[in-house]
Amino acid sequence: MKLLGKKILLGVSGGIAAYKIPNLVRLLKKNGAEVQVLMTASAAEFASPLALATVSENKVLTEIFPDSAHEAKAEWTCHISLGEWADLFVIAPATANTIGKLASGLCDDMLSAAFLTLRPAKPRLIFPSMDGEMYFAKAVQRNLAQLKADGCEVIEPETGSLASGLTGMGRMPDPETIFDRIVKTYDSNEDAELCRAFDGKNVVVTAGATREKIDDVRFISNYSSGKMGFALAASAAKLGAKVTLITGKTALQTPQGVQRIDVESAREMLVAAEAFFTACDMFIAAAAVADYRPASPHEGKIKKSENVFEIQLVKNPDILQLFGTQKSSKQVAIGFALEAQNPMENAKEKLAKKNLDLIVLNSASEPGAGFEVDTNVVTLIGKDGTLEKLPLMSKLEVAKVILKKSSFFFGKDMLLS
């Protein structure tokens, strides 16, 4: 779901291309977006408000003024709350009339009023749609230039058959094309914000499985492939962080721009990690560290002589808890949990016990999740009480969501530095 949790204002003005909008809304909803449709009065001549209300699962708004005194208190300032709520404003189709009003700052309906209340940092996408002669008229081009100067992104119409029967420039793109542009806008804006948050930060990631020696040819380990940790390291490096990846044995290639340290046992991983405890801004413990190790590893190879062979195990150090309990308020600690019983309860307990900012609860049973696969199903639990279950995603996509979520826990002075 490419737009999970996104909040989109969709302004529809009175052009023939408005008939395409229900399909666009379906695409947005299918991909997890919340959609609030705003229509001009003339748009209702081309697309049914009832149909758009049905597919968007929200009342379609047209007028600033409420229908009755009973609704006045709730709806009078609705355009203000819409500007606060949305993180993207899309106007499709945008007619010459609507473009002129927006460029001039006029607001005599809900669409144009909400347009003025959208926060300046939030993107605005405008899809002009009209006959070619109208599109190239000096007044329309002047208004489009003004909207661009005001920070709007104007997407040129396509060339093709027009409602007038002529062929030329002025067609609104198909819903699939508009959808792709919306996704691209979100990706570029989120990437820019994340880059600002992570630029120059020192991030330490542990990955893979540790090995605890039984003898010279045998060891205790687990099925972890290291793919999740490597995805996190690669993603953090792309965002401009200085990344140190401390990994157990794996055949995975070192991500570009990442410093790699190979270790074998839990104690070796601890020694490597401790060197970065003080200086790192974020510590991500994605490694599957063995909880126990043989108390007395054997030299050479143990001969098969008895039907029963017992190994005494001792507890390994808890690397994440050591970091979590000594980290400063400016440092961020992220852990992972894989629980077979009472997963949510146990994950929350680990979050509190280890003084973590975020814990990622892995699924042990869902198809496509877990060890040695390129996808995952996880639930993010924050120290602030937030909980977000992600659908099946690639581990690179999961990594990006984890980093975005964890960036909120950076100290404010760090984000502003």
- Binding-site residue numbers for CTP are 291, 301, 317-320, 336, 350, 354
Quote the crossing angle between the two packed helices 21-30 and 175-198, to the nearest 10°.
40
Question: Distance between the two ends of the chain, CA-based, in angstroms?
Answer: 33
- 243: tokens are 């990344």
Q: Which residues are annotated as a binding site?
A: 291, 301, 317-320, 336, 350, 354
CA distance linking residue 128 with residue 94, whole number of Å: 4
- 417: tokens are 């530095």
Name the active-site residue from 31, 222, 346, 355: 222
Q: Does residue 307 carry a catalytic annotation? A: no
- 98: tokens are 């609507």
Report which secondary-structure segment, H or E, holds 104. Answer: helix 96-104
Tallying the residues shown for the chain, one arrives at: 417
CA distance linking residue 357 with residue 393, whole number of Å: 22
Phi and psi of 46, rounded to 5°? -110, -25
Rg for the chain, CA atoms, rounded: 27
Q: Token match 């209300």: residue?
A: 53
Which residues, listed in sequence order, are joined to residue 336 by a DSSP beta bridge?
360
Confirm if 257 and 185 have CB atoms less than 8 A apart: no
Report which secondary-structure segment, H or E, holds 258. Answer: strand 258-262
CA distance linking residue 240 with residue 116, whole number of Å: 34
Residue among 339, 372, 340 at smallest CA distance from 223: 372
Kindly state the DSSP code that residue 288 receives in the 8-state scheme: B
Percent helix, strand and coil across the chain, each to the nearest 5: 40, 20, 40
3-state secondary structure of 17: helix
Give catalytic residue positions. Answer: 222
